């Protein structure tokens, strides 16, 4: 999508810090980190949020979770992390291209 910041990053039209990539998704550093490690795991296919996945997107959904697991093995202590997908405006989503926040490197409290 032309005006989607994550599609523009994938097309290399906006600079970013790339962390990882595979056929289905890519990982960048969040521009306003909320923890020592704050990555965004983003599907290459533009899907608005998790609520818009279809059965055809199962492989992508799996790839996002498996990428989180790989990041935890590489970049965290004890494979502990928080994974968040804000889905919809009222849930706090501000970029309407699916992404999982991968957060680690500090203690987290209650979610809300
Ligand atoms: P959300 O509010 O859950 O939709 O999360 C969107 C996230 O994207 C926020 O944490 C932003 O800091 C992050 N973000 C927005 N623009 C960029 C960018 N150009 N590079 C990296 N992260 C970004």
Active site residue 78: no
Phi, psi of 41 (to 5 degrees): -100, 120
- Report pLDDT digits (tens) over 90-109: 999 999 999 999 999 999 99
**What average pLDDT does this structure show over 80-95?**
97
Quote the ligand 1 centre to 88 CA distance (angstroms).
14
pLDDT of residue 2: 82
Q: Point out the ligand 1 atom lying closest to the alpha carbon of residue 95.
A: 4
Can you spell out the DSSP letters for 43-108? ESS--SSGGG--GGGHHHHHHHHHHHHHHHHHHSSTT--EEE---SGGGT--S-S--EEEEESS--
Whole-model pTM: value is: 0.97
Which of the two residues, 94 and 111, has the higher pLDDT score?
94
Quote the ligand 1 centre to 50 CA distance (angstroms).
16
Q: Give the rounded percent of residues in the chain with a pLDDT score beyond 90.
A: 93
């Amino acid at each position: 999508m032309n005006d989607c910041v994550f599609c523009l990053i994938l097309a290399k039209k906006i600079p970013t810090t790339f962390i990882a990539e595979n056929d289905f998704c890519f990982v960048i550093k969040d521009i306003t980190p909320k923890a020592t490690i704050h990555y965004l795991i983003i599907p290459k296919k533009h899907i608005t949020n998790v609520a818009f996945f279809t059965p055809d997107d199962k492989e992508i959904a799996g790839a996002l979770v498996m990428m989180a697991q790989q990041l935890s093995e590489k970049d965290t202590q004890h494979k502990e992390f928080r994974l968040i997908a804000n889905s919809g405006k009222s849930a706090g989503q501000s970029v309407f291209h699916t992404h999982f926040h991968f957060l680690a490197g500090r203690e987290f409290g209650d979610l809300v």
